[in-house]
Amino acid sequence: MGEYSKALSSYKRSLEIRKTALPPNHPGLAASYNNIASVYDDMSEYSKALSSYERSLEIRKIALPPNHPDLADSYNNIAMVYSHMGEYSKALSFYERSLEIRKTALPPNHPDLADSYHNIAVVYSHLGEYSKALSSYERSLEIRKIALPPNHPNLADSYNNVAMAYNNMGEYSKALSLYERSLEIRKIALPSNHPNLAGSYNNIAMVYDKIGEYSKALSLYERSLEIRKIALPSNHPDLADSYINIAMVYDKMGEYSKALSSYERSLEIYKIALPPNHPNLAASYNNIAMVYSHMGEYSKALSSYERSLEIRKIALPPNHPDLAASYNNIAVVYSHMGEYSKALSSYERSLEILKIALPSNHPNLAASYNNIAGVYSHMGEYSKALSSLERSLEIRKMTLPPNHPDFSQSYNNIGMVYDNMGEYSKALSSYERALEIRKIALPPNHPDLAASYNNIAMAYENMGEYSKALSLCEKSLEIYKIALPPNHPSLALSYNNIAAVYSHMGEYSKALSSLERSLEIRKIALPPNHPDLATSYSNIASAYCKMGEYSKALLSLEMSLEVFKKSLPPMHPRLALVETNIEKIKKRLK
């Protein structure tokens, strides 16, 4: 923060001198307002930045010819601030005005034209119009190929950007190939510890992360961090970004304590490097909250999400998409806590903001309808859930390629609602459609494939086809064993599902064995008061009941109740269910 205030003070002093020495519409004054605006933008004070950029533009309009390149720069800068504010349609309009001037003022393959196409592509990407983003990125790349030498760093940037568009479209093999091409150029063009090399390793890691190859992703994120530690000051924000990326992988691997540690290191750096209400601090609190949520520490999660929201309310315009994300995350925690009306209210607030901030077919709106459907499903309002899921699917069909992984989520969730409604054949059909898409979009041992086999198994189990269910549960477990660390929570879930099938088949000792394996993993992977541990104790109690061992069942249910009391609100329905079951067993033991 100190460096920003010093820069701002110097630029303002320079402006005062220029006001005295120069005519009122001299281009030098425009340059001063431009410099002041750039600092305000870095400080996330977007309204002040916009005001100064607009003052600069006014002066340039008077002082310069109508198609002067500096006017294009002004329109470009104003567009950049609107983009940071989440006002993407305004940003697009100003970027396009900048491009028009550059087309008139500059040769057809001038690098600034490539920059314009790049900026327009970024906005299309924010708007969820990935094919338009790809087209603009490719136009930028074409110009740079003509204008620049073959190993120029800006060509690497272009390959990187085209890769990013493919990544957003779910075309991960194309993305990986182009990110690697970008890295090759950077290795030739740049010193061995240049920050842009760290960026390349980071981007390649991101693709491996999405395709579920977490060990490769972690290794590359750590390589990126090593370079940044050498190349950058100890509290540079890019180091914080590296810690965030490493934390995200640990979180997916179920190594929550390591994830939390990396997120907290990131937050420490941001606190030193950034102003107190910078959006990146909000993102940090958000990330820490997410891990607490995965650990079942919902009150801590809620507190961190609310801190994140407070910062975003100060730092961002009232309808910025990041505010919607905050309300969405708070809703997730309320849903875990069984406070479904509060969850629904927060999800709907999130959706309201997204409807204002984004185009009507943006993928984030689809995600919002999906989340609202989840709450309706928990509340037993299945027709409303189904309606929201179908709206989500409609939006995705308009905006995404036909085999994008998000479609598999839609079909999967529709299947779950049909499952809850007892329409098992429809559930099975939707689950199988989700699996088909995942087989095309993802590598053969991706965890999401395991989830699909598990869901299909659940449908067969509900239909009484236990041998098919068991086979698919075991297939799911095999994939998880390859894709995930040995004590990942998803493995515990797999053993739990296998146990459920054995229980339906009347093989209670096998069911008990699988449930105990599930509990062992959860004891290692999760905090001692995580609700999933309570679920394990409840399931073990159910197995003992079926075996007629009521005293052991009672002991397990009491352990379940103890954990639930520490992790859930006092009126949560799961607490009431366990208490009821305890009373039933006590009556049997009398």
- pLDDT per position as a tens digit, 153-198: 999 999 999 999 999 888 899 999 999 999 999 999 999 999 999 9
Q: Verify that 478 and 491 share a domain, yes or no.
A: no
pLDDT at 2: 52
What's the rounded Cα separation, in Å, for the pair 431 and 462?
A: 14
Tens of pLDDT, residue by residue over 524-581, are: 988 888 999 999 999 999 999 999 999 999 999 999 999 999 888 888 888 999 999 9
pLDDT for res 82: 93
- Residue 470 within a domain: yes
pLDDT surpassing 80 at residue 246: yes
Q: Among residues 483, 513, 548, which one ends one of the domains?
A: 483
Cβ contact 415:431 at 8 Å: yes
Question: What is the predicted pLDDT for the residue at 18?
Answer: 94
- pLDDT, residue 1, reads 45
In CATH, what number is assigned to the domain containing residue 564? 1.25.40.10
Mean pLDDT of the chain: 94
Calculate the dihedral angle through the C-alpha atoms of 436, 442, 447, 451, rounding to the nearest 10 degrees.
Answer: -20
Residues in CB range of 257: below 8 A, 6 or more apart? none
Q: Are residues 512 and 581 in the same domain?
A: yes
Residue 539 lies in a domain: yes
Q: Are residues 524 and 538 in the same domain?
A: yes
**What phi, psi does 136 have (nearest 5°)?**
-70, -40
Is 471 in the same domain as 441? Answer: yes
> Is 101 in contact with 71 (CB distance < 8 Å)?
yes
Domain contains 397: yes
Two tokens at 182?
A: 């970008």
Task: Please report, in angstroms and rounded to a whole number, the separation of the first and last CA atoms in the chain.
Answer: 69
Residue 45 lies in a domain: no
Residue 314 located in a structural domain = no
Does residue 495 sit in the same domain as residue 574? yes
Tell me, yes or no, whether 434 and 362 share the same domain: yes
Is residue 359 predicted with pLDDT exceeding 90?
Answer: no
pLDDT band with cut points at 50, 70 and 90 for residue 449: very high
Q: Same domain, yes or no, for 368 and 460?
A: yes
Is 468 in the same domain as 543? no
- Residue 405 belongs to what domain range? 358-377+385-483
Mean local confidence (pLDDT), 508-526:
95
Asked whether residue 24 is domain-assigned, the answer is: no
Residue count of the chain? 590
Average pLDDT over residues 208-228: 94
Asked if residue 128 has pLDDT above 80, the reply is no
463 and 364, same domain (yes or no): yes
Question: 110 pLDDT exceeds 90?
Answer: yes
In a domain, 138, yes or no: no
Do the domain assignments include residue 202?
A: no
pLDDT digits (tens, 9 = 90+) for 52-86: 999 999 999 999 999 999 999 999 999 999 998 88
Q: Taking the alpha carbons of 80, 81, 85, 89 in that order, is the dihedral positive or negative?
A: negative
Of 444, 461, 483, the domain-final residue: 483
Kindly state whether residues 474 and 493 are assigned to the same domain: no
Q: Indicate the SS3 state at residue 11.
A: helix
| Residue 587 and residue 510 in one domain | yes
Which residue among 426, 448, 483 closes a domain?
483
Q: Are residues 429 and 364 in the same domain?
A: yes
Q: How many domains does the chain have?
A: 2
Instruction: Note the pTM of the prediction, 2 decimals.
Output: 0.80
